Amino acid sequence: MTIPNIMTLARMALVPAFLIGVIYGWLYISLAIFVAAALTDALDGYLARCLQQESQLGLYLDPLADKLLGTVAYVSLAVIGLIPAWLAIVICFKDLFIGLGIAIIFFTGQKPKVVPTLYGKGTTIMQVVTIGVALIWRVMGLDGPVLDILFKITGGMTILCGGHYIFKGFRQLDEGKKSVVSA
Structure confidence by residue, pLDDT tens digits, 1-35? 888 889 999 999 999 999 999 999 999 999 999 99
pLDDT tens-digit map of 123-138: 999 999 999 999 999 9
Using pLDDT thresholds of 50, 70 and 90, give the confidence band for residue 117: confident
Tell me if 110 sits within 8 A of 173, measured CB to CB.
yes
Burial (CB count within 10 angstroms: exposed 0-12, middle 13-18, buried 19+), residue 9: middle
CATH superfamily of 3-182: CDP-alcohol phosphotransferase transmembrane (TM) domain (1.20.120.1760)
pLDDT tens-digit map of 47-88: 888 888 888 788 788 888 989 999 999 999 999 999 999 999
Percent of the chain with pLDDT over 70: 96
pLDDT tens-digit map of 138-153: 999 998 899 999 999 9
Residue 114: CA atoms inside 13 Å, Cβ hemisphere, count? Answer: 18
Q: What is the pTM of this model?
A: 0.88
Q: In angstroms, rounded to a whole number, what is the distance separating the alpha carbons of residues 31 and 26?
A: 9
Domain ranges across the chain: 3-182
